[in-house]
Amino acid sequence: MSPVEAAEAVFRAEHGRILAALIRLAGSFDRAEEAMQEAFAAALASWPECGIPRNPAAWITTAAHRKLIDEGRRERTRREKQEPLRYETAASTMPVEPVDEEDAVHLPDDRLRLIFTCCHPALAVEAQVALTLRTLGGLTVPEIAKAFLVPEPTMAQRLVRAKRKIQEACIPYVVPPARELPDRLAGVQSALYLIFNEGYAAASGPHLVRGDLCNEAIRLVRLLCELMPREPENTGLLALMLLHDSRRNARVAAGRLVTLEEQDRSLWDAVEISEGLALVERALRARAPGPYQVQAAIAALHAEARTAAETDWRQIRELYGELLRLCPSPVVALNRAVAVAMSGDLKSALREMDALDELDRYYLLHGARADILRRLGRNAEAAEAYRRALELAANEVERDFLRARLREVG
């Protein structure tokens, strides 16, 4: 392995761990990021001559820490030479003792603190997602901007505002106390699931699936499970992502969307399914069911069906009823109505959907209504519903699918 390859491998595998430790030491996102970047630059200059160190990640951490120390000394010197009141940076935010390479191996893992800081409820959801991808995922600003289809300057400003909010609001770099953990953990899980959903079914743009975002979300939830292994909802969320992601290669064929009912199940990823099913069982053994565990159980029933006809829609309907009890929302009610339709009661499902007035601008409601009307042979009404869905949909692959359905009933 070349020095460049070694540095890239360390960045991919240890970026979040190193940055989390440096943020704790520096008390600043920006200073930590700058120190880490300088450490990687120093590695690329040093390793070709001196060789790749035995523990590259510890070398990077130590080098970055020393740069923070140097910065702290320069800042103290400036403060001593200038009027003291002009510089109010707390000395406690500056590292004062160096850490050698051996000690760096044993630094505490601060990534859990970083996750809760990035996903603090004082930050907007969009900022939580962007900051999580930037700090824990190591994605660049252009990569995050591209993923969420916003201009780079917009994403850069979003990150700047999030970091400023953390500093100005004195958001603590800590894991919340036990009494706050359930609510705060739900926010973390929600942010990570939002990243996955944007990858699994992009809200807009030319592609239905963004595999890079799916992979990054799964990696981050694996990290959350590693850091909080006794939380069954973390396990359930990982299982849910894996079971959904297992169908990734079958969801689009020749650029066209393929419904779950019509997918070639031989293209489903057997390894992800096997791991996902095992995780569902492990989570449910804790006997503390939550929304992600229930959704994972639904995904497991789809994964276990060898054909679409073998899908246990009645049990799926019951599970959606449980999910509706745990987290009542119009979208969950819509999903339950779809399960009612697929279990054979089309008319009841249509009545349930017609009652969801609050989803009038949600294209999936109109797409689902159109599908039921098509199955009932009410083609004129189905066409009207497909047109409404087409007005609201932004993803081009989904729009092409709706146009094709509209031609079928037109």
pLDDT at 149 over 60: yes
pLDDT at 299 over 80: yes
- Number of structural domains in the chain: 5
pLDDT at 53 over 80: yes
Q: What local confidence, expressed as pLDDT, does residue 395 receive? A: 86
Q: What local confidence, expressed as pLDDT, does residue 250 receive? A: 95
Looking at mean pLDDT, say which of 122-126, 394-398, 402-406 comes out highest. Answer: 402-406
Asked if residue 174 is part of any domain, the answer here is: yes
Asked if residue 307 is part of any domain, the answer here is: no
One domain for residues 77 and 121 = no
Which structure tokens are listed for 84? 């003291």
Q: How far apart are CA 373 and CA 382, in angstroms?
A: 5
Asked if residue 96 is part of any domain, the answer here is: no
One domain for residues 249 and 285 = yes
Q: What local confidence, expressed as pLDDT, does residue 327 receive? A: 92
Q: How far apart are CA 5 and CA 15, in angstroms?
A: 15
Question: Of the residues 295, 329, 350, which one is the last residue of a structural domain?
Answer: 295
Q: How far apart are CA 395 and CA 208, in angstroms?
A: 7
Asked if residue 291 is part of any domain, the answer here is: yes
Q: Where are the alpha helices (DSSP H) in 201-327?
A: 211-227, 232-245, 270-285, 291-304, 313-326
Looking at mean pLDDT, say which of 4-8, 162-166, 221-225, 295-299 comes out highest. Answer: 295-299
Over residues 325-330, mean pLDDT:
93
Over residues 371-395, mean pLDDT:
95
Q: How far apart are CA 300 and CA 129, in angstroms?
A: 27
Residue 150: what are its φ and ψ, rounded to 5°? -125, 155
**Closest CA relative to residue 19, chosen from 123, 109, 120:** 109
Tally Cβ neighbours within 10 Å of residue 182. 12
Q: How far apart are CA 54 and CA 71, in angstroms?
A: 27
The number of CA neighbours under 13 Å toward the Cβ of 29 is 26
Asked if residue 273 is part of any domain, the answer here is: yes
Question: Of the residues 344, 359, 374, which one is the last residue of a structural domain?
Answer: 359
- Alpha carbon 59 to chain centroid, angstroms: 30
Q: What local confidence, expressed as pLDDT, does residue 205 receive? A: 67
For 263-275, write each residue's pLDDT tens digit: 999 999 999 999 9
One domain for residues 346 and 372 = no
One domain for residues 43 and 61 = yes
Q: What local confidence, expressed as pLDDT, does residue 259 receive? A: 93
Q: What local confidence, expressed as pLDDT, does residue 209 receive? A: 79
For 69-102, write each residue's pLDDT tens digit: 888 787 777 777 665 544 444 444 444 344 444 4
One domain for residues 319 and 342 = yes
Q: What local confidence, expressed as pLDDT, does residue 103 receive? A: 46
Q: How far apart are CA 67 and CA 87, in angstroms?
A: 20
Q: Which residues contact 155 (CB under 8 A, 6 or more apart)?
A: 130, 141, 144, 145, 148
Asked if residue 380 is part of any domain, the answer here is: yes
SS3 state at 182: helix
pLDDT > 90 fraction of the chain, expressed in percent and rounded:
56
One domain for residues 129 and 217 = yes
Distances (CA, A) of 166 to 123, 171, 298, 308, 407: 8, 5, 38, 48, 52
Distances (CA, A) of 98 to 24, 150, 335: 14, 41, 55
Tally Cβ neighbours within 10 Å of residue 183. 10
Q: What local confidence, expressed as pLDDT, does residue 203 receive? A: 67
Q: Which helix (H) or strand (E) holds 252?
A: strand 252-253
One domain for residues 375 and 351 = no
Q: Which helix (H) or strand (E) holds 392?
A: helix 379-392
Q: What local confidence, expressed as pLDDT, does residue 195 receive? A: 86
pLDDT: is 180 or 371 the higher one? 371
The region of weakest confidence among 63-67, 176-180, 406-410 is 176-180
Q: In which domain, by residue range, is 241 found? A: 230-295
Q: What local confidence, expressed as pLDDT, does residue 182 receive? A: 79
Report long-range pairs for 206-213 (Cβ below 8 Å, ≥24 apart).
206/396, 206/397, 207/397, 208/251, 208/252, 208/257, 208/395, 208/397, 208/398, 209/248, 209/251, 209/252, 210/147, 211/248, 212/143, 212/147, 213/147
One domain for residues 199 and 235 = no
pLDDT at 134 over 50: yes
Asked if residue 105 is part of any domain, the answer here is: no
Asked if residue 8 is part of any domain, the answer here is: yes
The pTM of the full predicted model, rounded to 2 decimals, is: 0.78
